[in-house]
Copies of this chain bind each other. A is one copy, B any other.
Amino acid sequence: MDRIPILQMGKCLLVTIQVDLQDQTALALQDDLATKIEATGAHGVLIDISALELVDSFIGRMLASISGIARVLDATTVVVGMQPAVAITLVELGLSLEGVRTALNVERGMQLLTAAAKERDLDGGL
């Protein structure tokens, strides 16, 4: 069981990270997400990290990388559920997750994605 499942909800994909990510699992997740975004035409990716008690530079880079991949595939990534202690440690470590959007919980993340989708639809004529 080295693959993290990706759930589809409408035009959004939801990933819950529950285990400490190893290199292989993280790479597989990137691949799977890219494939799934292409296959489903999803416009949003929600990554829930509420189970993580530690986010190191490796996970930080992976989140930024997933966010970048999704962006070029025309999808917005939102990282949700970060524990307060994790946020404190991240900033203390000088990792600010640049380029990664965050939201307090899944519901707020979903609202963010819905708003982003609406904005895009308005620009759709261009």
Interface residues of A (CB under 8 A from B): 1, 3-5, 7-10, 14, 16, 18-20, 48, 50-53, 81, 105-107, 110
Contact = CB atoms under 8 A, between A and B. Distances in A.
A59 to B, nearest CB: 13
When all copies of this chain in the complex are counted, the total is 2
B9 A50 contact: no
Contacts of A105: 7-8
A104 to B, nearest CB: 11
A3 B51 contact: yes
B51 A7 contact: no
Contact of A4 (B14, B18, B106, B110): B18
22 contacts: A1-B18, A1-B19, A1-B20, A1-B51, A1-B52, A4-B18, A5-B16, A5-B18, A5-B48, A5-B51, A7-B16, A7-B50, A7-B81, A7-B106, A8-B105, A8-B107, A9-B106, A14-B14, A16-B16, A18-B18, A18-B19, A19-B19
